Structure 1
Amino acid sequence: MRVLATTTLTAALILSGCSSTTLTSTTGVDRKQLLLVSESEVNALSAQNYNQLVSQAKSKGVLNTNSTQKARLQRIANRLIPQAKTLRPEAASWQWQVNLIKSDELNAFCAPGGKIMFYTGIIDRLKLTDDEIAAIMGHEMAHALREHGRENVSRAYAQQAGLGILAAATGMSEGQAQVANLVGQIGIGLPNNRTQESEADVLGLELMARAGYNPQAAVSLWKKMIAANGAGGSQLLSTHPNPENRIKNIEALLPKVMPLYLQAKR
């Protein structure tokens, strides 16, 4: 009887923790997500981790050292961020940040709650255009809007805590340290799965199109990433789906988002 009760409670908790974090809008992503950990908790802990990274970079003298590049990123973000409310209205109240770390690393991310970080290597080595930067930034912002970090933390927490039964039943008060550790590992550091990457591609295209950046640049971006991977590797590419398939999928989505781009340009 106890096993049956536990199974029933587990199912109830999983069902109650399933929802879709973004509106379907033009591109129609509406997958239900397992979200056992609170949004406020994940965003607060992610902000702590992000601020720690910023502080470390500042102490090493590698934070925002190129004022021209930093201003360029901020200018692009200023066009993309207002479009986020189309997919998720509450994102308008997020405390968005944009920073740049001097590093040869081909990488960028947007932590939960809208904390954007670029590395100079991805801009310099790939010789990115503004549209290509917008493709990366929109993709990473989409991860935050879809709360993929929170979803990954919830999944890991459920696995580590026996599907989160005790923690969820007690408001997770007994699991704060565990959640914080998971956010530190997953919120920034670990890759998303292929479904999440595909969702970020879809929503990222919509964001950049609405902001007046040409979605076709996502194709040229991934071609550059493929070339860079062959010339010495890319952290972004190593954690993402097959790039050739990704390009085909992006090309198939262009007819949906190009009208948004053309409207924004007008």
Structure 2
Amino acid sequence: MKQVIAAVTLLILTSCATHQSPTGRGQTLLFSSQQMDQMGAQSFAEMKKQQPLSKDKKLNQYVVCVANRITSVLPSNQAKWDVVLFESDQVNAFALPGGHIGVYTGLLKVATNQDQLATVIGHEVAHVLANHSNEQVSRAQMTGVGMQLADVALDAGGVSNKDLYMSALGLGAQVGFILPYGREQESEADIMGVELMARAGFDPSQSIRLWQNMAKAGGDQGPELLSTHPSHGRRIADLQQMQTKAMPLYQSSSLRGKNRCD
């Protein structure tokens, strides 16, 4: 039985990294950019149907202005980004492959100026640039296949308490594979996002203030081990270390001090 569990776990947790992320981390990407763009477009269209959009013209202009500043420093082959402000108390934002950015009005109560909002949007756009969505769906597919094979193997072996073993195997895959990579992706997006906002002329030091605000608003996050996000304290410490590299980018940006959005 132990051999079966070990073999299937190894199948789930190992893969050939055929790509490198922008920070040099190995990635397994099973889907083409065209497929991901299609998924992103379909998901965004569905969200716009299901969730209320903000009718506040001033807030919409503000969010679009910040987002456009961020996307203006991306490679020239990037498509025009669709930016939508959703009416919701969620303190969140997201970006999807194919050039889609969603911001929730609740975020604007925590991101209190244009630089802090740029921190979040830069971070979310970085997820797209680094193919993190592709990684997530690729890993979900590989894990799903592995779990199906484990189920077959346990049936063939006539193992009692199969449901218990499957639950344990599922938890092992989740904690040992999916979540840690999620934390790596979050940290990678922090690095890339701070550089993006600095190039776009937003003050990167405000990224620290943003996450201090998030810490106050978010309460107890629970154990970092069981979260896809780094703890607030770790994230703030990492952002403080990034300032040495980000500040020169901000100071040399041609967009610094121009076209304020707020």
The residue number in structure 2 matching 1:79 is 69
Measure how far apart 1:76 and its partner are.
Answer: 0.9
Give the counterpart of 2:137 among 136, 142, 153.
153
Please say if residues 111 and 117 of structure 2, whose CA atoms lie closer than 8 Å, have aligned partners that are also in contact: no
**Deviation (angstroms), 1:21:** 4.7
- Cα distance in 1 for partners of 2:33, 2:60 equals 29
Name the amino acid aligned to 2:203: N
Deviation at 1:155, TM superposition (A): 1.1
Q: 1:135 to 1:252 in 2, by over 3 A?
A: same
Aligned ranges 1:65-144 → 2 under 5 Å:
65-85=55-75, 92-123=77-108, 125-126=109-110, 128-144=112-128
The aligned residue for residue 18 of structure 1 is 18
The change in CA–CA distance for 1:239 and 1:102 in structure 2 (over 3 A counts) is farther
Match of 2:37 among 40, 43, 47: 43
Bigger drift between 141-150 and 105-114 goes to 105-114
Do the aligned residues in 1 keep the contact of 2:54 with 2:105 (CA within 8 Å)? no
Quick check: 1:21–1:145 contact (8 Å CA) kept in 2?
Answer: no
Cα distance, 1:56 vs structure 2:
2.1
Q: Is the 8 A contact 1:84 1:145 kept in 2?
A: no
Deviation at 1:127, TM superposition (A): 5.3
Matching residue of 2:207: 218
Q: Secondary structure at the match of 2:88?
A: coil
**Cα separation, 2, equivalents of 1:198 and 1:231:** 20
Name the TM-score, length of structure 2 as normaliser. Answer: 0.73
Question: Aligned with 1:118: secondary structure?
Answer: strand
Letter of the 1:42 partner, please give it. M
CA contact 1:19–1:34 (8 Å) conserved in 2: yes
Deviations 1:90-130 (A, max 9, x none): xx33341100111111111111222110000110x225200
How many residue pairs match? The answer is 210
Retained in 1: the 8 A contact 2:84–2:101? yes
Q: Secondary structure at 1:83's aligned position in 2?
A: coil
Runs ≥4 residues deviating over 6 A: none
Residue pair 1:109, 1:118 contacting (<8 A) in 2 also = yes
- Which amino acid in 1 is paired with 2:61? A
**Higher gyration radius (CA):** 2
Structure 2: distance between partners of 1:155 and 1:205: 26
Instruction: Please list every run of 5 or more consecutive structure 1 residues that lacks an aligned counterpart in the other structure.
Output: 1-9, 23-28, 164-189
Q: Percent identity?
A: 36
CA RMSD of aligned residues (A): 2.8
Deviations 1:225-253 (A, max 9, x none): 000012999xxxx7521110110000001
SS of equivalent residue, structure 1 residue 93: coil
| Equivalent-residue separation in structure 1 for 2:131 and 2:70 (angstroms) | 17
Give CA-to-partner distance per residue, 1:165-214, whole Å, 9 cap, x none.
xxxxxxxxxxxxxxxxxxxxxxxxx9871100000000000000000000
Q: Distance in 2 between matches of 1:158 and 1:239?
A: 18
1:205 — aligned with what?
194
Contact 2:89–2:105 (CA under 8 A) maintained in structure 1: yes
Tell me, in whole angstroms, the C-alpha distance in 1 between the residues paired with 2:111 and 2:117.
Answer: 10
Aligned letter for 1:263?
S
Partners in 2 of 1:108 and 1:78 — Cα distance? 15
CA-CA distance at 1:69 after TM superposition: 0.9
